[in-house]
Amino acid sequence: MSNKNSVISTKGEEFLKGIAIDIVILGFNENQLKVLLLEYKSTGLFGLPAGYIFKDENLNDAAKRVVGERTGLKDIFIEQFYVFGDTNRHDIKPIKKILAAEGASTQSDHWLLDRFVSVGYFALVDFKKVIPQPDQISDNCQWYDLANLPNVMLDHNMIIKKALETLQTNLDGKLIGFNLLAETFTMTELQSVYETILNKKLQRTAFQRKMLSLGILERVAKRMTGGAHKAPYLYRFIKNETL
């Protein structure tokens, strides 16, 4: 949710009503895929970074604002992947709990207790560059292993699952625009990312052949580790390629 105090006000006059943003921010560290989650104050509730759209704000700009506030990063490439609008996602119990912890009204006329349609975005970021920042109604903003998540509120498990499925369907193209890896990386590091996201082992030679045939990588230099004959090549994505 946004840093603005008006988020928990009864009317929320500054925001568009009935529409929200939920963002799956993914990072890769030590061969594990991580997702950034908020822990809301004095509630025991966990959830994805989320936010609302100001009346004079573009939808994508609102999503970039929320990602920037939670990660401390600028110029992050994000992608809209799905709209979540089923009636059964409307559950006021966790929202009331969050409002009560802030000393805000939990009366039925509070704008946050209305039904919301949520636009899902995902962002792949360099884990080492992120400085997680909680919002005004959360105590913590932390990375969690995708394979070992706490119990998240509302339909956020489904949102995370849908984001991962979307990423898996066109992984070659997604990794070019995003910043999940450092600017330069080894083929082994790239394969590790693929295997983690796809949740399966890949044959090394076939993987390398495929990646080089796509024309999306350029070789930079050998990494200076150990003897020259053992040093792996470094690669980077060719940013202006489109698949």
Q: What is the pLDDT of residues 193-225, one digit of tens each?
A: 999 888 899 999 999 999 999 888 999 877 666
Give percent of the chain with pLDDT exceeding 90.
61
Is 103 within a domain? yes
Residue located via tokens 């699952």? 161
- What pLDDT was estimated at residue 54? 94
Q: 23 and 118: one domain?
A: yes
Per the domain annotation, does 64 fall within a domain? Answer: yes
Alpha carbon distance 105, 221 (integer Å): 60
Domain identity same for 144 and 41:
yes
Residue 178's alpha-carbon distances to 43, 119, 183, in angstroms, are 33, 19, 10
Phi, then psi, of 93 in degrees rounded to 5: -60, -50
In whole angstroms, what is the distance from residue 115 CA to residue 125 CA? Answer: 31
Residues 163 and 190 placed together within one structural domain of the fold: no
The CATH number for 145's domain is 3.90.79.10
Same domain, yes or no: 108 and 207 = no
Of the chain, the percentage scoring pLDDT greater than 70 comes to 89
**Residue 202 and residue 123 share a domain:** no
Say whether both 58 and 11 belong to one domain.
yes
Nearest to 50 by CA among 32, 69, 31: 69
Quick one: average pLDDT of 80-103?
94
Which has more pLDDT, 75 or 164? 164
Q: Does residue 80 lie in a domain region?
A: yes
Q: How confident is the model at residue 228 (pLDDT cuts 50, 70, 90)?
A: low
Both 158 and 211 in one domain: the answer is no
Please indicate, yes or no, if residue 174 is contained in any of the structural domains.
no
Q: Are residues 155 and 188 in the same domain?
A: no
Within this chain, do residues 199 and 221 fall inside the same structural domain, yes or no? Answer: yes
Structural domain including 222 reads 183-237
Number of domains the chain is built from: 2
pLDDT > 70? residue 74: yes
| Token output for 145 | 């292993």
Report the chain's mean pLDDT, rounded to a whole number.
88
In this structure, is residue 10 part of a structural domain?
A: yes
pLDDT band at 227 (very low <50, low <70, confident <90, very high): low
pLDDT for the residue numbered 144: 97
Residue 226 lies in a domain: yes
As given in the structure block, the two tokens for residue 160 are 């995370």
Rounded-to-integer distance, Cα 201 and Cα 199, Å: 7
Same domain flag for 89 and 190: no
Residue 75 Rama label (left phi>0; alpha psi -120 to 50; beta): left
**78 C-beta neighbours (distance < 10 Å), count:** 22
What pLDDT, on the 0 to 100 scale, is given for residue 44? Answer: 94
pLDDT digits (tens, 9 = 90+) for 33-59: 999 999 999 999 999 999 999 999 999
